[in-house]
Structure 1
């Protein structure tokens, strides 16, 4: 994996192909929920780019995060609100030693493998600045009786449906680290999250089902478990800096 300089730096103003201009670091306000599921570590490794290794969450076990996000404000009005779903493979750079740990409520330090969003500017925002694998799709998010339900449909086929019970929350700050590929280089992006957050470890108070989309078939092959390492919820501000070469 190349270690070229990242395409942008904090302080840059980036004009997207869709016409919007965003300043880095990018301020966002969002509500998110998700789960971290056990998976086959070997099969997770097969989906990672060179330079990253899957976390060890047990003998032969890795982890995969499902994250549902409603973005209410992006760049202080630079983009219209949009919804998003992310599949994140728990991983860390090969250069770091030791056994990685799972982080809840911020999900996991990991590689963003799939990220459907609901608008073309949202796709350009993630893809053109950080290399996120965003595609425009249908992401329907509803909330009822303390449960947040998300259904993702792409190319006319259902990918996944997820429902997560909201855990108790407190006001706190956390850091998110996401890895992506851009122009043949591996980038790491830090997101600083502050607001109301909650997590519940080793939970069954969630449900998910996979559809018939090819991405769903790949996820089936990861041997995902039905008891989560944790479920989580957050509502607040997330500030994303420029990506750094890993």
Structure 2
């Protein structure tokens, strides 16, 4: 920690680079996976192919992908684009499954009701299913974001690794403090990413907040109050009042 404080001016630009290399692939992966997943809803064959391809992509070692991409797209070996492209592929591979699972989590009766009132399949997905799928989608996005924060450091082996540079430099100099500084900073960065996405998830699902408030209020009731409420509900259901 002392090393991190003493060298903050040097570490800060590296943190910025690491943040950019983590955020951009996460956003791009979501932008690609979301419409693709929506398109594959109700298409079992296409869905199966997409999941298989995504699984294969995610099994490719990150370092190998960082090295192979320049020969495919023609970028320099130490270009940050190599890391961004590789992590975008990983993000898309993870998120495509998450998008499909989040849309599957929407109750069938909700889908049927929206279709009954005249929603087209596309409008139903966008206006009904997607908002209800946000909690599951946010959970998957949190995993992807934290994974990217970790994988960016691998890029240090090819000269583009953000905070991973602290690992390689510390290893070459046999200086554990520098390595620990990199580990701590990455952990803090991953925690911040996770919290920010979680807050966005809460902000975009106000109906869940109201449900939580009602649940808390119900949990604070005394046993007598709960009994009275249950009896009142029973009377109302019978039509006595």
TM range (shorter): under 0.3
TM-score (norm 2): 0.22
TM-score (norm 1): 0.22
Asked which structure has the greater CA Rg, the reply is 2
Question: Where is the strand percentage greater, Structure 1 or Structure 2?
Answer: 1
Question: Where is the helix percentage greater, Structure 1 or Structure 2?
Answer: 2
